[in-house]
Chain A
Amino acid sequence: MKTLKKLLKFVAPYWFLILVVIVIMLMVTGINLLVPRITKIIIDDVIPSGARSDLILMALAVLGLAAISGGLTFLQRYTMEYVAQKTIYLIRNSLYDALQRLPFSFYDSAQTGELMSRVTGDVERLRRFFGFGIMRLITSIVTFLGVLVLMLNMHWKLTLLSFVVTPFMLYVILQFSRKVRPAYFEVQQQLANLTAVLQENLTGIRVVQSFVQEEKEIEKFKLENEAYLKRNITAIRLNAFYSPLLNFLIGSGVVVILWYGSREVVANRLTVGELVAFNSYLMMLLTPLRFLSNIINMYQQAIACGDRIFEILERPSEITNASDAIEIEKANGYVRFEDVWFSYDKENFVLKGLNINAEPGEKIAILGATGSGKSSVINLIPRFYDPMKGRITLDGMDLKKIDLTSLRRNIGMVSQDIFLFSTTIRENIAYGRQNATFEEIVNASKAARAHDFIMALPKGYDTLIGERGVGLSGGQRQRIAIARALLMDPTILILDESTSSVDVETERQIQEALEILMEGRTSFIIAQRLSTVRNADKILVLADGTIAEQGTHTSLLEQDGVYKEIYESQFRLQEMALEINGEGRDV
């Protein structure tokens, strides 16, 4: 009931249209009820009296009523469909909006395919309910009541008698929904599984083909596909049993009327015309009942889908603006971590009481083993996650007090996993600042050393890049990502292991681009190059969620600790290369 209420809230703005639909439906029902009445008059009065002119009049009346009813039916259907489509359009938008705002922690465990199926499949089923189910429900109730009154008026005994079948029908309908509902729920569930497998396969197709695992993937898919088939058949089987059973019960009602009604006619308590009309009415009475099971089914599906949708819509975002959040303009870039504790699962702490002090414009290089908490540090600054304990401040202000959007506008990120959108290069670069002029975009690209290769593309800045930027090389994508960050002109810059996966020439260009990007900004860099650590104002060596060592390149080397070890094994080689080459000691 709760879910229905929430669903109805989406429809509420259209109450007037719905009212119109209901009024139209009442009219249509009324007209439809009139037709058997006219037939009865023709049979009982007009034909026996032999009034030919009345006959044509009556026939025209039937036709006229049909025309009116047809016109109204069109209006009603169209309006209802409008309401339904508009509603799910709104729901889809809300879902999209909600999905975009959900925190990283949500996406850590969510599957894209499964989320997709909520926004597409579930929403579609809701449409069917709104467009068809609700309309049918109202028509059914109205018709049922209307027919009942007419029948009682005509012959109350026969009416009551024809009701004999209704308890059976209700029982069957109840059974139907009790058994068929879970069956269809499982069908849905399985479709989601199928979609997830498919989705993963399609994104990983290169690996699949590299390892020649097509057959295994086909087997895997086949399992899901077979399960889907089985569940579908189970559901259909139940449906195939109960639906004709209802028809049979309706037919039995007709039998009762035929038998008892005919006796009444023989006894002269009923006319033949009335018997015929009664039969039509009984159909009108029971058909809506028959649809009831459909409607219940649709209703239940809609509730299930609604639940899945609201799970997203109402998921409390852990990362929200405080009520007194302050919008900031350009920050100075003074970042402090004060005894920060953080955990992804609230059990295993990744950061254990971290303190960092970054002055405006400082370059902070972060080193440490995989799993030492480097990524967590940089994810906390734009508030992709919030610390469990302690606080992080920007210019002395707790991040939680700052308006989220304004905070993130001050932060530029070039992450390890570069995601470009399948649109033009120009739009990708302007991703964070759409009002940027073309000149600004070109300047950013030039600074990011991306301009030249962009101009060499078929349509320059207007070149479309494929899904996930497939058509571009790693180095090209990186430079676009740098241009994208540069255009934002952020106060704080976060570089996550981004200066690699390219060849030497590109590497040099990217280095240059990064130098430009970092200039005058507070930068946090998960470092891997010698030049970076040497240029850093401060090096933090993380181990097990705490800072094991910190200082400058020279001071840390003197300490003879972890840093020295890393340096010896890793940077030494780079340094040797410089010496072999005999030039450029000043990186």
Chain B
Amino acid sequence: MGYGLRGGPRFALDKEEVDLKNYDYNLIRRLVREYVRPYVKHILIAIFLMVFISLMGLLGPYLIKVAIDTYIPKGDLNGIALISIFYLLSNMAIWVASYWETYNISWTSQNVIFELRQRLFEHLQRLSLGFYDRTESGRIMSRVTNDINALSEVAGPGMVRIIGDFFTIFTTAAIMLTMNTKLAFISFTTIPFIIILMTSFRTRIRKAYHTVRRKVADVNANLQESISGVRVVQTFSREQTNLQKFDSTNMENFQANMQAAGLHALFMPLVQFVGSLGTALVLWYGGLLVIDSEISLGVVIAFISYIQRFFSPIANLSEIYNMIQAALVSTERVFSILDTEPEVKDIEGAIELPPIQGRVDFENVVFGYDPQNPVIHGISFHAESGEMIALVGATGSGKTTTINLLARFYEAQEGRITIDGIDIMTVTLSSLRRQLGIVLQDNFIFSGTVKENIKYGRPDASDDQVIAAAKAVNAHDFIVRLPEGYDTQVQERGSRLSVGQRQLVSFARAILTDPRILILDEATSSVDAYTEMIIQQALERLLKGRTSIVIAHRLSTILKADKILVIDKGKIIEEGTHDELLALSGKYKELYEAQFR
């Protein structure tokens, strides 16, 4: 058994302070290359439509200028009507194009995040137990839901809007230049201010969002634990203290949010102010030019419109920029999980483990959760097919670790473990685990029906097989007494079943897969004497004819074992049958007597 935190540093999920520079480009490139690429067609259509919309938008002020400068002075009512119709048509075109643009791009972004979420989930399935030992599930949850949703904006609409906005900015600038160069340059003098603003806020806003997301994760983690541990909370009347703790986490979250909100609230008005500066310049200088008869009144009016159209995408860009900042933070967090390599995975050229007899050999196996600190110091033993091996020893001696190694939840650092003479490192994980039956200490039951739970390891089993399995482990009787028998919903974590019932269901689940090798981790107890009796019978049938490695703590089990291994401090110190070991008068006798004295 590992102690406490199993050495090693906590997983990088807590290490949120990443280098903030030079990350954006790489992250975006990666997102695009790995996830957005299949949708290039949709994106191109969206960009095309976006450009079209922005051109149509620019047409408006020009039409008004023509009306004011050409038709109104002439009193040409037909011309005015014509202009109006053009204006209406351009608006209609914008409507239709906007619909298609939004639909296309949102469709794309939703598909991208669907894919990302799916891959993240798939990756989580492959990550080794070591990862889950170190990472609270609340934190993982927040990545799969909140973070991925946060980046839905950047993965599509954000990117296209940026392109559209840039296009609008450049076209507007071009139109302004053609209309009147002097007035255009006067308007452009505001651009440096915008650039200064954006660069100075950039890092700060990014950092603020980083903090916000971290604090949100803290809130989630606290919450998650409080909800799943609520029974203990109430037992110990801890409601008040917990509330205080939650309150301080919640408060930090509030403060982080306010920090970000403050920057945000400051940034937008500043951008708008620079926009007004442009308008004021145009009014002043344009007015002068009109007085000097250099330009017409219509030009000034059109310029005022254009300068608004010039600044609103800039303001948008900064808004989108903030959004992207937030999304990039999320992207980093999502990729950091995707980049976590499973510690245990199939080696290259791994073979399928052929159907096994069930011979197990440990050959001088050394292992430590933290490689510097081995908890298993060279364990060797042999189990013949059909034999039952009982592991006995004090808590922390390495029993659980031993069986975890056999199932390859962790991998040995030295030595090897073979089944029927085949090194388990050379076979695929799935072919190995499929042939093992594993009953863990924590009889985790899934929400769903009793039947679904029994069929968990063999989804194609027939009802008869399920019932036979349940009967074999004495579970049938209690199951048929449930309100809806095998179809009874057991609720989250099987909370409608008692511990004993959950254990029987997990036995049935294991026996249904008919494994050649059965691994049993202290799962045969924590029930009352009556249930215990039922379970013992069940256990006997479960173990019959299979190679079994059992962490035993019960006399009846130990007595039946073909071989008992006494483990102490990661080593096998005694080995033999019950009688042989008693005759040794060693550690086993000591342990044995201790319990019944």
B92, A248: Cβ atoms closer than 8 Å: yes
What residue in chain A is nearest B129 (Cβ atoms)? A206
Looking at B167-175, B326-334, B551-559, the stretch in contact with chain A turns out to be B551-559
B269, A70: Cβ atoms closer than 8 Å: yes
Interface string of A231-256 (1 = CB under 8 A from B): 01100110111011101100110110
A67, B283: Cβ atoms closer than 8 Å: no
B80, A574: Cβ atoms closer than 8 Å: no
Interface string of A168-208 (1 = CB under 8 A from B): 00000000000000000000000100111011111111111
The reply on A505 being an interface residue by CB < 8 A is yes
Given contacts A85-B258, A255-B91, A384-B234, is CB(A236)–CB(B102) below 8 Å? yes
A207, B84: Cβ atoms closer than 8 Å: no
B5, A458: Cβ atoms closer than 8 Å: yes
Given contacts A202-B124, A244-B102, A471-B4, is CB(A431)–CB(B236) below 8 Å? yes
Given contacts A408-B237, A474-B522, is CB(A100)–CB(B395) below 8 Å? no
The reply on B99 being an interface residue by CB < 8 A is yes
Q: Give the residues in chain B near A92, CB-CB below 8 Å.
A: 219, 250
Bound-state CA distance A413–B238 (Å) is 14
B106, A434: Cβ atoms closer than 8 Å: no
B3, A471: Cβ atoms closer than 8 Å: yes
Bound-state CA distance A571–B129 (Å) is 38
A133 to chain B, nearest CB (A): 15
What residue in chain B is nearest A532 (Cβ atoms)? B529
Given contacts A212-B433, A225-B117, A458-B3, is CB(A262)–CB(B395) below 8 Å? no
B529, A528: Cβ atoms closer than 8 Å: yes
B498, A70: Cβ atoms closer than 8 Å: no
Q: Give the residues in chain B near A422, CB-CB below 8 Å.
A: 136, 225
Interface centre among B63, B400, B528 (most CB of A within 10 A): B528
A277 to chain B, nearest CB (A): 10
What residue in chain A is nearest B373 (Cβ atoms)? A458
Q: Give the residues in chain B near A150, CB-CB below 8 Å.
A: none
Bound-state CA distance A81–B267 (Å) is 14
Interface string of A105-123 (1 = CB under 8 A from B): 0011111110111011100
B224, A99: Cβ atoms closer than 8 Å: no
A457, B3: Cβ atoms closer than 8 Å: yes
A85, B257: Cβ atoms closer than 8 Å: yes
A74 to chain B, nearest CB (A): 5
B441, A474: Cβ atoms closer than 8 Å: yes
Looking at A46-54, A155-163, A294-302, the stretch in contact with chain B turns out to be A46-54
Bound-state CA distance A374–B527 (Å) is 11
What residue in chain B is nearest A344 (Cβ atoms)? B496
Q: Give the residues in chain B near A409, CB-CB below 8 Å.
A: 237
Q: Which residues A115-136 have CB closer than 8 A to chain B? A: 115-117, 119-121
The reply on B265 being an interface residue by CB < 8 A is yes
Choice from B110, B229, B297, B509 contacting A232 with Cβ under 8 Å: B110
Q: Give the residues in chain B near A527, CB-CB below 8 Å.
A: 528-529
What residue in chain B is nearest A95 (Cβ atoms)? B223
The reply on B405 being an interface residue by CB < 8 A is no
The reply on B583 being an interface residue by CB < 8 A is no
Determine the main DSSP class of A at the interface with B.
helix
The reply on A323 being an interface residue by CB < 8 A is no
A112, B492: Cβ atoms closer than 8 Å: yes
A533, B91: Cβ atoms closer than 8 Å: no
Interface centre among B126, B230, B246, B430 (most CB of A within 10 A): B230
B219, A108: Cβ atoms closer than 8 Å: no
Which size class do A's interface residues fall under? 35 or more
A211 to chain B, nearest CB (A): 4
The reply on A97 being an interface residue by CB < 8 A is yes
Q: Give the residues in chain B near A35, CB-CB below 8 Å.
A: 276, 279
A502, B395: Cβ atoms closer than 8 Å: yes
Choice from A55, A110, A262, A419 contacting B288 with Cβ under 8 Å: A55
Choice from B6, B87, B257, B509 contacting A471 with Cβ under 8 Å: B6
What residue in chain A is nearest B277 (Cβ atoms)? A63
Q: Give the residues in chain B near A415, CB-CB below 8 Å.
A: 231-232, 235
Q: How many residues of chain B are within 8 Å of chain A by beta carbon?
A: 176
Given contacts A67-B273, A207-B440, A370-B498, is CB(A199)–CB(B5) below 8 Å? no
Bound-state CA distance A292–B430 (Å) is 55
The reply on B322 being an interface residue by CB < 8 A is no
The reply on A371 being an interface residue by CB < 8 A is yes
B80, A240: Cβ atoms closer than 8 Å: no
A273 to chain B, nearest CB (A): 9
What residue in chain A is nearest B255 (Cβ atoms)? A85
B103 to chain A, nearest CB (A): 5
A225, B118: Cβ atoms closer than 8 Å: yes
B433, A209: Cβ atoms closer than 8 Å: yes
The reply on A287 being an interface residue by CB < 8 A is no
Q: Give the residues in chain A near B438, CB-CB below 8 Å.
A: 210-211
B269, A108: Cβ atoms closer than 8 Å: no
Q: Which residues B498-553 have CB closer than 8 A to chain A? A: 498-501, 509, 513, 522-523, 525-534, 536, 551-553
The reply on B573 being an interface residue by CB < 8 A is no
Given contacts A367-B530, A368-B530, A467-B137, is CB(A408)–CB(B87) below 8 Å? no
Bound-state CA distance A357–B407 (Å) is 50
B284, A498: Cβ atoms closer than 8 Å: no
Interface string of A52-69 (1 = CB under 8 A from B): 100110111011011101
Choice from B92, B129, B228 contacting A419 with Cβ under 8 Å: B228
A421, B444: Cβ atoms closer than 8 Å: no
B126 to chain A, nearest CB (A): 7
Bound-state CA distance A82–B118 (Å) is 36
Given contacts A218-B121, A244-B98, A259-B81, is CB(A52)–CB(B288) below 8 Å? yes
A375, B231: Cβ atoms closer than 8 Å: no
The reply on A167 being an interface residue by CB < 8 A is no
B528, A501: Cβ atoms closer than 8 Å: no
B141, A202: Cβ atoms closer than 8 Å: yes
Q: Give the residues in chain B near A198, CB-CB below 8 Å.
A: 121, 141, 144-145
B235, A382: Cβ atoms closer than 8 Å: yes
The reply on B386 being an interface residue by CB < 8 A is no
B94, A251: Cβ atoms closer than 8 Å: yes
Interface string of B80-116 (1 = CB under 8 A from A): 1101100110111011101100110011001100100
Bound-state CA distance A196–B596 (Å) is 46
Bound-state CA distance A11–B224 (Å) is 27
Looking at A439-447, A549-557, A575-583, the stretch in contact with chain B turns out to be A575-583
B63 to chain A, nearest CB (A): 8
The reply on B39 being an interface residue by CB < 8 A is no
Q: Give the residues in chain B near A210, CB-CB below 8 Å.
A: 407, 433, 436, 438, 440
B497 to chain A, nearest CB (A): 9
B594, A508: Cβ atoms closer than 8 Å: yes
A119 to chain B, nearest CB (A): 6
A481 to chain B, nearest CB (A): 9
Given contacts A209-B409, A240-B99, A502-B553, is CB(A265)–CB(B72) below 8 Å? yes
What residue in chain A is nearest B409 (Cβ atoms)? A209
B107, A504: Cβ atoms closer than 8 Å: no
What residue in chain A is nearest B126 (Cβ atoms)? A214
Q: Give the residues in chain A near B106, CB-CB below 8 Å.
A: 233, 236, 240
The reply on B132 being an interface residue by CB < 8 A is yes
B529, A533: Cβ atoms closer than 8 Å: yes
Q: Give the residues in chain B near A77, CB-CB below 8 Å.
A: 261, 264-265, 268-269
The reply on B379 being an interface residue by CB < 8 A is no
The reply on A152 being an interface residue by CB < 8 A is no
The reply on A333 being an interface residue by CB < 8 A is no
Given A59-B283, A244-B102, A471-B2: 13 more A-B contacts, CB < 8 Å: A46-B287, A52-B291, A66-B276, A74-B266, A74-B269, A96-B250, A207-B440, A255-B84, A371-B501, A382-B234, A465-B5, A471-B6, A473-B395
24 contacts between A and B (CB under 8 A): A50-B291, A63-B277, A66-B272, A96-B243, A96-B246, A99-B226, A107-B495, A120-B223, A202-B141, A212-B429, A214-B122, A218-B122, A226-B114, A236-B102, A240-B103, A262-B83, A266-B77, A366-B528, A382-B235, A416-B499, A431-B236, A467-B137, A526-B528, A584-B596
A-B pairs, top 10 by smallest CB distance, nearest first, are A66-B276, A251-B91, A244-B98, A59-B284, A500-B525, A432-B236, A240-B102, A77-B265, A211-B457, A70-B269
